[in-house]
């Protein structure tokens, strides 16, 4: 792990207890291989940071968009605090250089890695809140996350994937997407589905989930990413 003071300077923060900031980067898997490490993993900080994040984003949207209804603000908030955006910002801030992982986990890439970075982002918010206070956590969130909102609104990223793919497909091809279950297995209480999204007879993408709705949403998201 790099010297944590490098990150403090980068974020323009000064912790009274640097262990708290370090703890935000400790993944559970690291402690499995290093049981004598002097800090706990970051999951409690992540739990706290998640709540602070939601409050700050909610407060910001409430104050800055007084004419917007609750439903629209809820969609905007969900788009802002999702793990994809949080992990992207964490990557931009080079948080990956500081994360403490097991050897096996450190080789993980793709969604698993992004999920870890999103959790670290929330854990850091929790650490800032505990050590420096709410205002510092608020400034961190406003500076690093709220800047994403104009693009989310402009590109309609707050809409669910099915709605966005349907709008795009109709605009480009005049065809309304259809969904079909390609595979399903498991007992009733633990079903698993693979769904395909089609434009007429052409399969555009597949998605998996524990319900048809979840699999359809995943298929639409995959279709958006392959455009």
- Provide the strand spans (E) within the chain: 178-185, 192-199, 202-209
- 127 contact partners, CB below 8 Å, separation of at least 6: 15, 20, 21, 23, 24, 45, 49
Active-site residue 122, yes or no?
yes
Which one of the listed residues 46, 50, 60, 217 is annotated catalytic?
50
56: number of Cβ within 10 Å:
22
Task: Tell me if residue 50 is catalytic.
Answer: yes
User: In the 8-state DSSP scheme, what is residue 16?
Assistant: S
Q: Which of 46, 60, 122, 217 is catalytic?
A: 122
Q: What is the DSSP string of 38-85?
A: SS--SHHHHHHHHHHHHHHHHHHHHHH-TTS-HHHHHHHHHHHSSHHH
Helix, strand, coil content of the chain in percent (nearest 5): 65, 10, 25
Cα–Cα distance for residue pair 76/84, rounded to 1 Å: 14
Q: Coil, helix or strand for 99?
A: coil
In this structure, are residues 90 and 120 in contact, taking their beta carbons and an 8 Å threshold?
yes
Of 165, 156, 157, residue with least CA distance to 84: 157
3-state secondary structure of 170: helix
Which residues are known to be catalytic?
50, 122
């Amino acid at each position: 792990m790099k010297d944590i003071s490098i990150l403090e300077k980068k974020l323009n923060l000064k912790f009274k207890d640097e262990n708290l900031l370090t703890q935000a980067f400790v993944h559970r898997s690291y402690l499995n291989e290093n049981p004598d490490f002097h800090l706990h993993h970051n999951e409690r900080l992540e739990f706290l940071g998640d709540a602070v994040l939601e409050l700050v984003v909610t407060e910001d949207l409430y104050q800055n968009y007084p004419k917007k209804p609750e439903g629209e603000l809820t969609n905007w908030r969900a788009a802002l605090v999702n793990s994809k955006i949080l992990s992207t910002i964490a990557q931009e801030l080079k948080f990956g250089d500081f994360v403490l992982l097991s050897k096996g986990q450190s080789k993980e890439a793709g969604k698993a890695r992004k999920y870890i970075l999103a959790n670290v982002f929330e854990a850091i918010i929790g650490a800032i809140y505990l050590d420096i206070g709410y205002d510092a956590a608020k400034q961190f969130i406003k500076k690093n996350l709220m800047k994403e909102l104009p693009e989310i609104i402009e590109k309609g990223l707050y809409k669910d994937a099915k709605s966005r793919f349907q709008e795009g497909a109709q605009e480009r091809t005049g065809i309304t997407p259809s969904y079909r279950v390609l595979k399903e297995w498991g007992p009733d209480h633990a079903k698993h589905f693979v769904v395909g999204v089609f434009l007429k007879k052409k399969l555009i993408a597949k998605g998996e989930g524990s319900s048809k709705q979840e699999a359809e949403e995943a298929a639409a998201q995959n279709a958006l990413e392959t455009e």
